[in-house]
Amino acid sequence: MKISIVGTGYVGLVTGTCFADTGVNVTCVDIDEKKINNLKKGIVPIYEPGLETMIKNNVEKGRLHFSTSLKESLDQAEVIFIAVGTPPGEDGSADLSYVLAVASEIGRHMTQSIVVVTKSTVPIGTSKKVRAAVKAELDKRNADIPFYVASNPEFLKEGNAIDDFLKPDRIVVGTDSEDAEKVIRRLYKPFLLNNHPILFMDIPSAELTKYAANSMLATKISFMNDIANLCELVGADVNMVRKGIGSDSRIGNKFIYPGIGYGGSCFPKDVKAIIRTANSYNYPLRLLEAVENVNEDQKKIMAAKVKNYFNNDIKGKTIALWGLSFKPNTDDMREAPSKVIIKELVEAGAKIKAYDPVAMDEAKKEVEDSITYGQDPYDVLIDADALLLLTEWPEFRIPNYKVMSKLMNHKVVFDGRNIYDMNEMNENGFDYFGIGRSQKEVK
Interface residues toward ligand UDX, by CB under 6 A: 154-158, 214, 217, 221, 255-257, 259, 262-264, 266-267, 326-327
Residue 255 or 309 having the CB closest to ligand UDX: 255
The nearest distance, CB 373 to ligand UDX, in angstroms, is 21
User: Minimum CB separation from ligand UDX for residue 229, in Å?
Assistant: 13
How does DSSP classify residue 193?
T
Q: Which is nearer to ligand UDX, 36 or 173 (CB)?
A: 173
Whether residue 327 is annotated as binding a ligand: the answer is yes
Could you tell me if 397 and 421 are in contact, meaning their C-beta atoms sit under 8 angstroms apart? no
Residue 343 labeled ligand binder:
no
The reply, when asked if residue 258 is annotated as ligand binding, is yes
H or E stretch covering 205:
helix 203-234
Q: Kindly tell me which of 262 and 433 has the beta carbon lying closer to ligand UDX.
A: 262
Q: Determine the residue with CB nearest ligand UDX.
A: 266
Q: Which of 54, 55, 20 is nearest to 187 (CA)?
A: 20
Residue 276's identity, in one-letter code, is R
The answer to whether the beta carbons of residues 319 and 345 sit under 8 Å apart is yes
Q: Any known ligand binding at 155?
A: yes
Residue 166 burial (CB < 10 Å; 0-12/13-18/19+)?
middle
Q: How far is the CB of 362 from ligand UDX (least distance, A)?
A: 15
CB 271 within 8 A of CB 290: no
Q: Which is nearer to ligand UDX, 390 or 412 (CB)?
A: 390
Active site residue 266: yes
Residue 201 CB: number of other CB atoms within 10 A? Answer: 15
Contact 174, 206 (CB under 8 A): yes
d(CA 234, CA 264): 31
Minimum Å distance from CB 12 to ligand UDX? 14
Could you tell me the smallest distance in angstroms from the CB atom of residue 382 to ligand UDX?
Answer: 28
Q: Which is nearer to ligand UDX, 19 or 262 (CB)?
A: 262
User: Does the annotation flag 35 for ligand binding?
Assistant: yes
Burial class of 128 by CB neighbour count within 10 A (0 to 12, 13 to 18, 19+): middle
Residues contacting 266, CB < 8 A, separation 6+: 121, 214
- Asked if residues 433 and 414 have their Cβ atoms less than 8 Å apart, the reply is yes
Q: What is the DSSP string of 283-295?
A: ---HHHHHHHHHH
Catalytic residue among 18, 28, 231, 266: 266
| C-beta separation of 110 from 255 below 8 A | no
If the CB atoms of residues 105 and 158 are measured against ligand UDX, the closer one turns out to be 158
- The distance of closest approach from Cβ of residue 403 to ligand UDX in the complex, given in angstroms and rounded to an integer, is 27
State how far the alpha carbon of 347 is from the alpha carbons of 52, 149, 230, 308, 409, in Å. 40, 50, 27, 15, 22
**Is 337 in contact with 299 (CB distance < 8 Å)?**
yes
For residue 364, give the 3-state DSSP assignment. helix
Name the residue nearer to ligand UDX (CB basis): 74 or 354.
354
Q: Least distance from C-beta 326 to ligand UDX, angstroms?
A: 4
**Half-sphere exposure (Cβ direction) of 405: Cα atoms closer than 13 Å:** 10
The answer to whether 263 is a known ligand-binding residue is yes
For residue 5, list its beta bridge partners: 28, 81
The annotation status of 147 as a binding-site residue, yes or no, is: no
The answer to whether 269 is annotated as binding is yes
121 is in an annotated binding site: yes
Binding-site residues for substrate:
155-158, 210, 255-259, 263, 327
Residues marked active site are found at 266
Binding-site residues for NAD(+):
30, 35, 86, 121, 158, 269, 334
Binding-site residues:
30, 35, 86, 121, 155-158, 210, 255-259, 263, 269, 327, 334
